[in-house]
Amino acid sequence: MTVRIIGAPTDYGQDRRGVDMGPSAIRYAGLSDALSSAGVDAADAGDLTVPRAEERNPDARTPSTGTAKFLQEIEEVTTALADRVADSVAAGETPLVLGGDHSVAIGSLSGSARDAEIGAVWFDAHGDYNTPSTSPSGNVHGMPLAAVLGHGDWEGVEWANAPGLSEENVAYVGLRALDDSEREAIRDSEMTAYTMSDIDERGITDVVGAALTVAGDGVDGVHVSLDMDWLDPTIAPGVGTPVRGGVTYREAHHAMELVAETDGVRSMEVVEVNPVLDESNETAELATELVASAFGKRIL
Ligand SMILES: NC(=[NH2+])NCCC[C@H](N)C(=O)O
Ligand SMILES: [Mn+2]
Ligand SMILES: [Mn+2]
């Protein structure tokens, strides 16, 4: 199996600078070697070209509601990313996107879903199901799932919609921080949502197994989206929107080991690593380890 590494060094989806350095931090943590030790061929396509915010639209950082900040920039980045991801899948590879903030998922998912039906497992503290009118922050990293599914204001926004992904094949794992409107929208949707409480009650093995089944049901493949704030901030401090009560080190590894066992992984992304907020690159190192587990690395 060839894993095609695609860096997406963008921070346009949120307010805390530095997450654009995520791809460097993850490579520096030894991603290629970790993938080789998992037994896959790693081919690094380098980074997408992302224009600096300072050159573009500095005023757009002013907090606002009723909007989606840097939407023009995000459209440019994610449409370029979608092409790279689609090309990689078409070449028989498995693309691995390195964020960047979670807005990159718009590109990963629409690229992976081009000419195909896919499912998605969303490992995240957050629902990322806001629309410009429901978002409390205007940050697009809180909206990518709504965008690709065409929910609310995102309906008919062609560059952002991924018609090959339907709600029935989306499963969240580890939710614990939802905005009120988001909570309602997720309940009303056809998506399956496993919260941290479900993990407490059923255990990680059961929950991840169920999520993979939902995502993989009747589709051509599954996209795995790993937001590093899914983990507890004590082990993954280098993220912009940390939330207490996340999964442990072992739960995370075991979840990724289960991902590797499915065989159906079509594409993956690891996002929200912010080296500026990190402690000696430990979040990037953990991201690297988890990716290796997701691609088959085993203890014995
Ligand atoms: N990918 C993330 N870290 N998303 C955090 C989203 C936080 C909040 N729900 C918002 O929409 O602003
Ligand atoms: Mn998150
Ligand atoms: Mn997220």
CA of residue 263 to ligand 1 center, whole Å:
30
pLDDT (0 to 100) of residue 240: 98
pLDDT (0 to 100) of residue 51: 86
pLDDT (0 to 100) of residue 263: 83
pLDDT (0 to 100) of residue 57: 65
pLDDT (0 to 100) of residue 62: 53
Nearest CA to ligand 1 atom 4: 142
User: HEC string of 197-247?
Assistant: HHHHHHCHHHHHHHHHHHHHCCCCEEEEEEEHHHECCCCCCCCCCCCCCCE
Look at the domain 2-294 and name its fold: Arginase; Chain A (3.40.800)
pLDDT (0 to 100) of residue 59: 64
Residue ranges for the chain with pLDDT beneath 50? 63-64
Tokens (6 digits) for 108: 């990963």
Ligand 1 pocket, residue 142 CB under 6 Å: yes
Which ipTM score applies to this complex? 0.98
pLDDT (0 to 100) of residue 63: 46
Q: Which sequence spans correspond to the domains of the chain?
A: 2-294
Nearest CA to ligand 1 atom 3: 241
pLDDT (0 to 100) of residue 66: 60
151 is catalytic: no
Best residue among 102, 122, 141 to mutate for probing ligand 1's pocket (most ligand atoms within 8 Å of CB) is: 141
CA of residue 300 to ligand 3 center, whole Å:
32
Q: Which residues of 37-62 are buried (b: 16+ CB within 10 A; e: fewer)?
A: ebebebbbeebbebeebeeeeeebee
